[in-house]
Amino acid sequence: MNRRLLDRHIRGTCRELLAAGGRVSGRALRRTLRERFGAAGKTERVFQIWREETAVKAEAARPQLPTDIAELQRRLLAAEQSAAETLARAERAELREQAHQERWALEIDRLRQEARAQPKYAAENRALQDRVLRLTVELHAARQLMVSKDSPR
């Protein structure tokens, strides 16, 4: 028996499946048509209707832009004001950071100058450097002695 599925049956079934589960494949549509109406319809025709219906659903899901020019201008003005406020806030933060860095650089420089002005600073510094040099030489000599004891003769 040759049953001819009507376009309205195919479209109705497709719309129901799309509403129920979101994304629907063409194969799932044909399987549902076979279960409901006993026939799956011609593949080319069913898939053409399926493509049309999924395109309609995709178009409906896309957000609509306002067509009112005044609304678009209001949004543009709000975006520009927000951008200007953000830029001004960033500039203020940059100035605060620069002032902070300058303050602490001056403080460090002042403390270094005070340390250098101490009467025994240079002598202590030279003495510490000499001690480090002497200890480095002693360490090197000790390592050499250990290497010579461990090496086979």
The dihedral region occupied by 22, where left means phi > 0, alpha psi between -120 and 50, and beta the remainder, is: left
Which pTM value belongs to this model?
A: 0.37
Cβ atoms 37, 3 nearer than 8 A: yes
* Angle at 60 (CA atoms; ends 58, 66), nearest 5 degrees: 125
State whether 108 and 137 are in the same domain: no
The range of the structural domain enclosing residue 102 comes to 86-117
Which structure tokens are listed for 89?
Answer: 């806030």
For 90-124, the pLDDT digits (tens) are: 999 999 999 999 999 999 999 989 887 887 887 88
15, pLDDT greater than 80: yes
Measured between alpha carbons, how far is residue 85 from residues 31, 74, 90, 97, 103 in Å? 58, 17, 9, 18, 27
Task: Count up the domains in the chain and report the number.
Answer: 3
Which structure tokens are listed for 5?
Answer: 């599925």
State whether 128 and 97 are in the same domain: no
74 located within any domain:
no
145 located within any domain:
yes
51 located within any domain:
yes
For 47-98, the pLDDT digits (tens) are: 888 888 888 777 666 676 667 888 888 899 999 999 999 999 999 999 999 9
State whether 138 and 110 are in the same domain: no
* In the block, residue with structure tokens 């049956």: 9
pLDDT at position 105: 96
- C-alpha–C-alpha distance, residues 16 and 10, integer Å: 10
1, pLDDT greater than 50: no
